[in-house]
Structure 1
Amino acid sequence: MYTTVSKKKKPSSEVALGTDVIYSNVATDATNEPNTTGEDADMCTAVSKKKKPLSKVTLGTDVIYGNVATEATNEPLSPDAGGKINAASFLCTGESESVKTLKNLAVKRGGSLTIPCFYDEQYKSNPKYWCTGKYWRICGVVAYANTRGRTSVTDYPTQNMFTVELNSLQDSDSGYYWCAVEIGDKWTVDDSDYLYLTVSADPAVSVINSRVSGQEGGSVSVQCLYRTDYKNKQKQWCRFRDWSCLTSQNSAVQISDDERGSVSVEMSGLKKSDAGWYWFSAGEVEVTVHLTVTERPTSKITSIRNTAHIC
């Protein structure tokens, strides 16, 4: 059984229940007003077709999914040595549950990464896009949905999701990116969620295969890697479908950490409903995995009837 972790709440404590770990979330009310003086104020106040004005940013102990809470600071929101993202009020983003993605992704230099972005049912027919920039106010659109290239964006309205495929990534591609949904005319606020991408020769986490497949009733194994400095970080296997995570194994999912930089995740008794997007994390750094579940082949017995012909 996977246990759900709220996107806006920090898993504050673990409660063991059999072989599962259930998180208890603590609601917080720490809210800080954005920096409204100097250059940062200009970045946050203007409204344009693709940019969203900021009314309030929730910081303190109220965290965005997958990240450890930090105090309000004027430092850029980028991962520290431990992989944590330091919250900064001048990112110019409001809280939204309507568009969701991960927060701190890693990928190896020269590699590829596919990022799922989920949105509310009400946005099925709205244009989707991917943009880059630390400030939402000046975020530059990279690609719209259903475009192909080094960055490919594909919308899946039946799944309330669009994916962003990034290829041939280099260190210079590290930075802030946004999953965004266009809401209306130039005076209407668009909806979005941001993430930080780190591209390096030795990423904090990675997977041998980011796309795996198995048959119904069968099993599939995912080999996840982490850097040695992440040995003591919490390892989790999570699924996007219900934003839930496992830190320990159960009857359907076996998680094995060799404590030398490798975690093996084996899913058995596969069902069609298991198909979809997952992620592995060590500490607050994440990498995505897609699982395809195919139908089990049916065996057909063909009977041959011998017919006697009498001449």
Structure 2
Amino acid sequence: MDLSLTVTTMFYILLFRTVTSSSLAKLPLMVIRAGEGETVTIECPHAQKTGPVSWCKVYSREVCNVIVHTEKEDSSGRISMRRVNGSVFVTSQLQKNDTGTYWCGTIQANKIHVSDIVMLDVFTADSRILNRTTVKGVMGNATTIHCRYKAQFKAYWKFLCKVVSVNSCSIIATPHDYNSSKLSISGNKVNNFAITIRHTDEGDVGEYWCGARTPVDFEISQVQTVMFKGTITKPGAPSNKASGTPQIWHIILPLVLGLLVVITIVLLVKKRKQSQTIPRESK
């Protein structure tokens, strides 16, 4: 889904009155978290394959400052935007004040068509640690992740994302908009909500972030690490416990038999040599 936004000659973007906040809520989202001084590369996966694409920082519902685009780097050279095999990437050496919400999109006829929203959190040594919780479940069963929020985030849109790389977290569900037969959502969706993952498998193991956002601001409130006990056994396949012992003996038994054969041959040869050396008695 694209949003049409007008652009002024000073490279500031104004939101059309016809665009609602619910439309912004449905655009593709990505959360990036990295340390000050790190260099990160962020993809705009839904950007158009050809033509110029812009990267702007959101300052209000109606103002977004264009920082860089695919045709030119920023004045400092700290941020660049390029297209590789049709995909668009933004590379930035991070500073603390880079924290914020960004739009990736194309500018045409003084309008920008937003394709992706990126929430970038640049942390320092003091802000690195987040509230962490471990969720333990049983592989194959349902597992529930609980997200809780302070009163100050009551009016924010809530979300849950799954970490897909060191710095990147992909949003998998929000209380009001999700599309997955594997997930179910409960809770009051204001101060808390719960995501239940049905029929868990190896792909569900990992780190999840509970977050809240507005078109401009966002907050990562909790980090949930999901761990499972047990493994999934395919129907008809023996379990590890049942098949472990025979597999060991399939190796040991031939070795033992081979050793016994060697010992037997050595003893027979030795006995034969001894019998040949014994002198016969004279008549």
- Normalising by structure 2, what TM-score? 0.40
Pair member with larger Rg: 2
- Normalising by structure 1, what TM-score? 0.38
The structure richer in helix per residue is 2
